């Protein structure tokens, strides 16, 4: 699997500077971990000091990179992408799931299996479900009645897809995630919470990836809907009737309450909470741990608890940070007036 600096430059469309092109390279590693036979990359200004001292043989850097560093340079348009290509070059052999249905899988009546599907041990696919061509259904994956899985999907071990869920193509779902559990809805009546039937479904469009131990509840009626290309990190909560627009990013442990709607290209950072029945506009960004209880207009960046436009939140935090001095200034005013006998 070894290669050379020259080959890596060719692979990534980069230009090698000040280095022996035939130097053998055996791997790719982070700036602080890389050894003399590995390549690294410059992806974050925070790591520049570490890069200067890195023992890596070479580093992928931007075209206009002007710093003096230890490793040789491979100039590329996108160092992070180039590094990813190098990482893949050294990757261990990919895990392959051969097509076929494992004899322990329980496949119900009226199930449709597309060409080349791989159904792993102990998968359960209930009556009337359909799995598209080339999809991998991992060990212990549960596909409920009448659910549809598109083509080239990959459901990792221990995923639960409840009944009447619709997955598009190339959807990836990581282990432990539950799609289609009942929404959290009750009527309060005579001192008790009476369950409201949750008879809608969940629809997940093409090219969505969902992390591990995520929960996405089915709609009370209609659908909970994750649109094309959106990526959801681990342990995220998506409540009933939520809509997440295309190409959004929901970072770990964020939660979206019932019926809220996110636009396209929205970013929710980690541990953000969104209350129910609000709208987050296209390309809005919400900072980590923010608590959002109002609509966010398109394109705005919000932050804080309670969340507001980031400029306002930062000003507020700055005012708070100067309170010690403000108290001193007021005390001084009081003392001055007191000394002058003005009161």
Roughly what angle, to the nearest 10 degrees, separates helices 310-321 and 323-339? Answer: 50
Q: Which of 59, 71, 131, 142 binds its own copies (CB under 8 A)?
A: 142
Please identify which residue in 135, 151, 160, 227 interacts with its own copies, judged by CB under 8 A: 160
Minimum distance from residue 22 beta carbon to its own copies (Å): 24
Considering only residues 63, 100, 106, 110, which one is a binding residue for its own copies as defined by CB under 8 A?
106
Minimum distance between the CB of residue 166 and its own copies, rounded to whole angstroms?
Answer: 13
User: At closest approach, how far in Å is the CB of 122 from its own copies?
Assistant: 6
Of positions 4, 26, 169, 175, contacts its own copies by CB under 8 A: 175
Binding segment (CB under 8 A) for its own copies, from list 2-10, 14-22, 66-74, 231-239 = 231-239
277-306: which residues touch its own copies (CB under 8 A)?
277, 288-289, 291, 293, 305-306
Q: Is the peptide bond before 296 cis (omega within 30 degrees of 0)?
A: no
Quick one: which H or E segment has residue 40?
strand 38-41
For its own copies, the binding residue among 66, 92, 109, 115 (CB under 8 A) is: 92
In the complex, minimum distance from the CB of residue 240 to its own copies, in angstroms, rounded to a whole number: 10
Helical (H) or strand (E) element with 193: strand 192-195
Is 37 in contact with 75 (CB distance < 8 Å)? no
Footprint on residues 176-195 left by its own copies (CB under 8 A): 176-178, 181-182, 184, 186-187, 189, 191-193, 195
Distance CA 298, CA 102 (A): 48
* 54-73 binders of its own copies (CB under 8 A): none
Rank residues 18 and 321 by Cβ distance to its own copies and give the closer one.
Answer: 321
Of residues 193-222, those binding its own copies (CB under 8 A): 193, 195-197, 199, 207, 209, 211-215, 217, 220-222
Pairwise CA distance, residues 258 & 3, whole Å? 52
118 interacts with its own copies by CB under 8 A:
no
Does the annotation count 240 as an active-site position?
yes
Contact between 104 and its own copies per CB under 8 A: yes
* Residue 156 engages its own copies in binding (rule: CB under 8 A): yes
What 3-state DSSP class applies to 62? Answer: strand
CB 217 within 8 A of CB 184: yes
User: What six digits make up the tokens of 334?
Assistant: 């009081």
Q: Which is nearer to its own copies, 113 or 235 (CB)?
A: 235
**Binders of its own copies in range 7-36 (CB under 8 A):** 28-30, 33
**Of 156, 158, 174, 240, which is the active-site residue?**
240
* Contact assessment for residue 231 and residue 213, using Cβ atoms and an 8 Å cutoff: no
DSSP 87: H
Task: Write the DSSP assignment of 129-191 as a string of letters.
Answer: -EE-TT-EE-TT-EE-TT-EE-TT-EE-TT-EE-TT-EE-SS-EE-TT-EEEEPP--EEEETT
Q: Kindly state whether residue 48 participates in binding its own copies, applying the rule CB under 8 A.
A: no
Determine which residue in the list 253, 298, 300, 310 makes contact with its own copies, applying CB under 8 A. Answer: 253
Dihedral, 191, 192, 193, 195 alpha carbons, nearest 10: -140
- Residue of 95, 106, 147, 101 lying closest to 120 (CA atoms): 101
Q: Is 19 strand, coil or helix?
A: coil
- Least Cβ distance, residue 96 to its own copies (angstroms): 9
Which residues are the active-site residues?
240
């Amino acid at each position: 699997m070894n290669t050379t600096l020259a080959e890596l430059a060719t692979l990534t469309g980069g230009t090698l500077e000040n280095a022996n092109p035939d130097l053998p390279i055996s791997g790719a590693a982070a700036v602080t971990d890389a050894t003399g036979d590995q390549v690294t990359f410059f992806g974050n200004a925070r790591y520049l000091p570490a890069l200067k001292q890195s023992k890596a043989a070479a580093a992928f850097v931007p075209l206009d990179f002007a710093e003096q560093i230890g490793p040789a340079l491979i100039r590329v348009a996108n160092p992070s992408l180039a590094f990813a290509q190098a990482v893949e070059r050294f990757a261990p052999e990919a895990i392959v799931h051969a097509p076929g249905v494992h004899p322990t899988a329980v496949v119900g009546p009226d199930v449709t299996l597309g060409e080349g599907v791989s159904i792993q041990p102990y998968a359960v696919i209930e009556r009337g479900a359909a799995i598209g061509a080339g999809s991998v259904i991992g060990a212990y994956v549960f596909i409920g009645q009448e659910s549809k899985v598109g083509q080239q999907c990959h459901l990792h071990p221990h995923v639960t897809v409840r009944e009447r869920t619709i997955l598009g193509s190339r959807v990836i779902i990581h282990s432990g995630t539950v799609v289609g559990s009942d929404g959290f809805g009750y009527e309060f009546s005579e001192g008790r919470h009476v369950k409201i039937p949750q008879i809608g479904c969940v629809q997940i469009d093409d090219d969505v990836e969902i992390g591990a131990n995520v929960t996405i509840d089915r709609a009370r009626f209609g659908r909970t809907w994750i649109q094309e290309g959106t990526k959801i990190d681990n342990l995220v909560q998506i409540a009933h009737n939520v809509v997440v627009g295309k190409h959004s990013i929901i970072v770990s442990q964020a939660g979206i309450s019932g019926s809220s709607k996110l636009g396209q290209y929205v970013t929710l950072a980690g541990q953000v909470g969104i209350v129910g029945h609000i709208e987050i506009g296209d390309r809005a960004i919400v900072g980590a741990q923010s608590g959002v209880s109002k609509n966010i207009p398109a394109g705005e960046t919000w932050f804080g608890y309670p969340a507001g436009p980031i400029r306002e939140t930062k000003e507020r935090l700055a005012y708070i940070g100067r309170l010690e001095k403000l108290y001193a200034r007021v005390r001084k005013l009081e003392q001055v007036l007191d000394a002058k006998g003005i009161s």
